[in-house]
Amino acid sequence: MAPDPPLDPSPDAPELYPWPEQGVQAAMLHREGVRELDPRADLEQVDEALRDEGAAPLADRTLVVAVGSNQSPAVIAAKYRRFGLVSPVTTPFLSCTVQELAVGHSAHVSARGYIAAAPHHAPGAVTELVATWFDAAQLEIVDRSEPNYERIELTQAGHPLELPTGQRPARFAVYASRWGVIADGPPLPAPAGRPDRRPLPFQAGQQDLFGLLDALTGAEAFSGEAAEICARLAWDPAGVGTLLRERALVVPDGLPRTLPPR
């Protein structure tokens, strides 16, 4: 008898981070699920949709640009459930572009064994991301769900944000890693005025990321299949951070810290 085929991993298995359903063009999370919005919707139309839901208006919400799995309404809904949110869950999501900002990987391992996304300053970059607006209760929960990140404020002057309608909010927040970001290699001599290394670009799959880290470090921790590696890293998440620092593979994200510590 032929052996049973391997079971497909759970849709939110750590090795599948940032999970295929992440990212939206325009959507509203509400108690019954996710409702698509017109991708051309402007902020006035989003406010109207919030009013129809009986939810807090944009003026009473904090704009947060998501760079990793928080782009997914399903991920945010799971966080609300996990922390027992009792106020309305209604949350808008709109695609956006941000200049001078790119996405790399935080120099830490999550509790489940994957290595998550983190933003960093990137001169000349234009990155497609997702804008979300949280009311006070929702924001508190997302803050609590991100112990390895610091919510910081960026402005239109330093990191121009544009919505599909051309609207440009004056300021927004991102969750920046407290651990720095993974570098694309160890220090090397560089011409005067040029950085000796840069943040490693974001890898859409953990298997690809682990392959690069295996090549950069030669550590057995990153050898094998992604699911196996995530399980291994989850047993000793601090060990990877130590390894990356020992190999000088951590660089600052270059983002301003303007909000007081949480």
The answer to whether position 256 is within a domain reads no
The answer to whether position 58 is within a domain reads yes
The answer to whether position 220 is within a domain reads yes
Query: Does residue 262 register a pLDDT over 50?
Result: no
- Residue-wise pLDDT for 12-70, tens only, equals 799 999 876 555 889 999 988 999 999 888 999 999 999 999 999 999 999 999 999 99
| Helix residue spans in the chain (DSSP H) | 43-53, 73-82, 136-144, 206-217, 226-235, 237-246
Q: Could you tell me whether strands 117-134 and 149-155 are parallel, antiparallel, or unpaired per DSSP bridges?
A: unpaired
91 and 129 in a single domain? The answer is yes
The answer to whether position 136 is within a domain reads yes
CATH number at residue 162: 3.10.490.10
172 and 209 in a single domain? The answer is no
Structure token pair of residue 255:
């983002």
231 and 106 in a single domain? The answer is no
Structure token pair of residue 115:
């290595």
Range of the domain at 224: 203-246
DSSP per-residue string spanning 134-197: E-HHHHHHHHHT-TTEEEEEEETTTS-EE-TTS---SEEEEEEETT-EEBSSS-----TTS-S-
pLDDT of residue 173: 98
The answer to whether position 39 is within a domain reads yes
The answer to whether position 77 is within a domain reads yes
Query: How many structural domains are present in the chain?
Result: 2
Query: Does residue 72 register a pLDDT over 60?
Result: yes
229 and 150 in a single domain? The answer is no
Alpha-carbon span 67 to 69, nearest angstrom: 7
Q: What percent of the chain has pLDDT over 70?
A: 89
The answer to whether position 7 is within a domain reads no
Cα-Cα-Cα-Cα dihedral of 156, 157, 160, 161, to 10°? 0
Q: What percent of the chain has pLDDT over 90?
A: 81
207 and 102 in a single domain? The answer is no
The answer to whether position 9 is within a domain reads no
Omega before residue 18 within 30° of 0, cis: yes
